[in-house]
Amino acid sequence: MRVIWLTEFGAPSVLVPGEAPDPEPGDGQVLVDVEAASVLFVETQVRAGRSPMPLPLPTPPYVPGNGVGGVISAVGPHVDPALLGQRVLASAGGTGGYAEKAVVAADQVIPIPAEMSVPDAVALLDDGRTAVGIFRLVAPKPDEWVLVEAAAGGLGSLLVQLGVNAGAKVIGAVGSDAKLAAVRAAGAEAVNYAQPGWTKQVRGLTGGAAVDVVFDCVGGEIGTAATSLVEPGGRFVVYGAASGEYTDTSAVAAGVTVIGPQQMMGELGPLMRELGAAALAEAAAGRLRPVIGQTFPLERAADAHAAIEARTTVGKTLLLP
């Protein structure tokens, strides 16, 4: 089968198209013929040799990729054969997703609703379950001010929609003027955090008031600046570090509830399958719309990584084997 090998850590060019034997499902596993695979920003960090989480890096060479969707073509021992032919969504466990076929745990697959396409479902796997999960943790109320960083990205665009649907007053912060329109089209206000004084623009939109919730996935200078926008009683959620470093939340005012990545994963980790199914249900009901900004053939995985790193992508990026 065709795969993408990560030969060594480095620039996108270390992602090389190649071949590998077809995997066989083991006990409790199924084989999925992959129709779409997600590409995550965190995967670009790992490819470069930087682990954003307190986890060891995989050892090259290996096939990267996690979220996949497609049809179950084989089942291993102790797996219900009725699963054969079902369209499903699943996590490959962090490796093996950039391929024509992937082996996944049978008890973790999520059926794809009949009214959804496989690419739409895959766009909601990692980002959808994370968005639904962290949104539930802080539960923004109607008329609360909510700031979403990287609001035009795959996960950020979902948080914007969830906030708007909840009746919150959402401000999406993005890294370029070209992305402002995408946020406003979703019903939110928008600011460009690449411009000086962007926090003053946020205060201008709120009428000088603090924001009640910050969803921070950028970290670094942007995340630190965002800490000044929350006051006692607010919530500050750190779920990423696109800048390369997590926000130093010691700058957050006393009385602000801070939820960091370890706490978030501790609370949401056991619920990932449930949260993934919830995201699909929201989409099937028309309340959540995945934004697929760009797709690439499997062989162009390196181009997908380069586009994400160049910050030129909008919404979700997918590979289509």
pLDDT at position 53 = 65
**Ranges of the chain with pLDDT below 50:** none
pLDDT at position 7 = 94
Per the listing, tokens 């909510």 go with 146
pLDDT at position 54 = 63
Cis (ω within 30 of 0) for the bond into 297? no
Complete domains list, the chain, with CATH: 2-124+290-320 (3.90.180.10), 127-268 (3.40.50.720)
Q: Which of 107, 110, 130 is nearest to 118 (CA)?
A: 110
pLDDT at position 251 = 83
pLDDT at position 52 = 67
